[in-house]
Amino acid sequence: MPVAQFQNIENIRLPAKPLHLAIGMFDGIHLGHRAVIDMAIQSARRSGGLAGVLTFAPHPTVLLRPDNPTRLICNPGTKARLLAETGVDFVATQQFTPGFAQVEAEDFIPLLLRHLPRLNTIYVGENWRFGRARRGDMTMLVAATKPRGLTVMSVSRVNENGEPISSTRIRACLEDGEIEAANIMLGYSYFAEGVVMPGKALGRDLGYPTLNIPWEPGLRPRLGVYAVEVSGEKAPGKYRAVANYGLRPTVENSTQPRVEAHLLGPCPFTGGDQVRIDWLRFIRPEMKFANVNELTAQIAKDRAEAEAFFDLA
C-alpha cells in the first residue's frame, strides 16, 4: 500500500487514530535517523496508532544562510522515498518558508496540534532544535508538551567507531572518498540515479564501453573512480562495474560531472534506461593523463582493481 505523502502540515489528512510522529531534517536517513523513526513505528504498532515523519524542505540554511547553504546527501524526492521505505504510514514535508522560519519555539507545539489533534507522542534526536533562531531545545519541548498530555521521546545518538553518526560526518566522508565508512553509517549503499544518455562512444573505442549518466547531487562526492553496482528495472539483479564520477579532463574540459560506468560483464542497459548506481569502494581520484594511451592503461588497472574488490579476478 502506498505511503501517504503530504506537503505542509495543514494538508495532512489522517484516520482518527493516535499519532506517533518522528520529526527531523533526516538528510541521508542514516542509522541514527532510523533509530528515531523505528521507535515511532514500534510504538504505533503496539498501540494501534499511526506512525509518521515530519521533515522539512529546503534545508533551513537555504533561507538563513543563502551564500553557504548546507549541501544535502539526498534530494527531496529521494529523501521522501527513503522515508516511505522505513515503514511509516505517512511522510509530511513542511516547506521551510520565511513565514515558517518565524514561528517561535513556544508556538510550535500549538501549531502542530492545530493540524494534528490526535498527536500522541513526538520522537526526536537528543540534539534536535526547533523554532525561530533554533531557540527550542528538549527542555522547552517537554515543558510545552506535558501540560497538553503529549509524550516526548528523545532518542540517543547512534555511535559508529566511537563517534556519533551524523549527516555532517557522512558528508565529510563522501567528500573525502571514504565511501565504505559513509555506507556503514548510512546503513545502505550511497547511490546515484539517472537516465542513461548517449555519449561520444570514446569508452567503446578504447575497449571499455560505458553507461553515461548525468547526475548533479546537492553534495558532490569526491571526483574519481569507484567500484560500483548498477541496477535498473529493465534487468533483475545488480551488475558489478567500475565507474568514474568526474569532469573527464583528459578528453574534454567539462564543468559538469557525470557518472560513467563500465560493467565488468554483459550490460543489459542502453540509452534511455533509468538506472541506480551503488557506490562501494573508492579506487582513486580523477586524474588528467598526457594522452589517451595513458588513460587506457589506467582504465585497465581500474578495472582490475574493481575485479579484485568483487573477487572476480
What pLDDT score was predicted for residue 249?
A: 81
- The segments of the chain whose pLDDT lies below 50 read 313
d(CA 194, CA 285): 22
CB-based contact 274:194 (threshold 8 Å):
yes
d(CA 88, CA 70): 26
- Residue 40: how many CB atoms within 10 A of its CB? 29
Phi, psi (rounded to 5 degrees) for 2: -60, 140
CB-based contact 152:43 (threshold 8 Å):
no
Written as nine digits, the cell of 265 is: 560483464
pTM for this model (two decimals) = 0.94
Residue corresponding to grid cell 538528510: 27
Phi, psi (rounded to 5 degrees) for 170: -70, -40
Phi, psi (rounded to 5 degrees) for 252: -160, 160
* Partners of residue 20 on adjacent β-strands: 51, 121
What pLDDT score was predicted for residue 313?
A: 46
CB-based contact 242:225 (threshold 8 Å):
yes
- Helix (H) or strand (E) holding 56, with range, is strand 50-57
CB-based contact 40:123 (threshold 8 Å):
yes
Secondary structure class of 118 (helix, strand, coil): coil
Amino acid identity of 18? P
Secondary structure class of 192 (helix, strand, coil): strand
d(CA 52, CA 235): 33
Of the candidates 36, 25, 124, 41, the one whose C-alpha atom is nearest the C-alpha of residue 80 is 25
| Cα–Cα distances in angstroms (integers) from residue 63 to residues 8, 13, 271, in the given order | 17, 28, 38
d(CA 187, CA 242): 22
What pLDDT score was predicted for residue 54?
A: 98
Q: How far apart are the first and last CA of the chain?
A: 43
Query: CB under 8 Å to 58, separation ≥6 — which residues?
Result: 69, 76, 96
Own/partner contacts of 207-212, CB < 8 Å, gap of 24 or more, are: 207/296, 208/262, 208/296, 208/299, 208/303, 209/262, 209/267, 210/244, 210/260, 210/261, 210/262, 211/259, 211/260, 211/261, 211/262, 211/263, 211/267, 211/269, 211/275, 212/258, 212/259, 212/260
